[in-house]
């Protein structure tokens, strides 16, 4: 059995994984997309993220988790960093407006359920 850090997907599988992440969080960020400048490998893929506050990040997604690799899109300047298990925990850490957006969306969905 492979450890998380040894998790290997092919490049296409990482693109599918990245698209699922993008679809999950896109309405709670200004922008999120796969980097076209940084190559994905069998070990991971890079996402460019702009928070609702306008902060830019380059995020590495791998079997280990989510790691902030740079404070600009398409930039890897941070070789060490905190590992987040989910995109939600990463966004919760870097973006107070994400928390508010996510909460507002959840309340809206709950209100719709109670209306029916």
What's the pLDDT score for residue 110?
86
**In the predicted structure, residue 95 carries a pLDDT above the cut 60:** yes
Output the pTM of the full model. 0.85
| CATH code of domain 4-115 | 3.30.2280.10
* Residue that is written with structure tokens 């997907």 in the block: 9
**pLDDT band for position 7 (50/70/90)?**
low
Alpha carbon distance 64, 85 (integer Å): 8
Give the domain ranges of the chain. Answer: 4-115
Q: What is the pLDDT of residues 33-88, one digit of tens each?
A: 999 999 988 899 999 999 999 999 999 999 999 999 999 999 999 888 899 999 99
């Amino acid at each position: 059995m492979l450890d998380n850090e040894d998790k290997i997907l092919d490049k296409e599988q990482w693109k599918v994984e990245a698209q699922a992440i993008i679809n999950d969080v896109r309405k709670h960020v200004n922008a999120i997309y796969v980097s076209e400048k940084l190559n994905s490998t069998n070990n991971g893929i890079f996402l460019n993220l702009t928070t609702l506050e306008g902060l830019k990040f380059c995020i590495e997604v791998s079997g280990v988790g989510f790691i902030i690799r740079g404070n600009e899109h398409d930039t890897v300047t941070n070789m060490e960093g905190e590992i987040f298990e989910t995109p939600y925990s990463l966004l919760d850490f870097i973006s107070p407006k994400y928390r508010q957006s996510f909460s507002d969306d959840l309340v809206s969905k709950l209100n719709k359920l109670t209306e029916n």
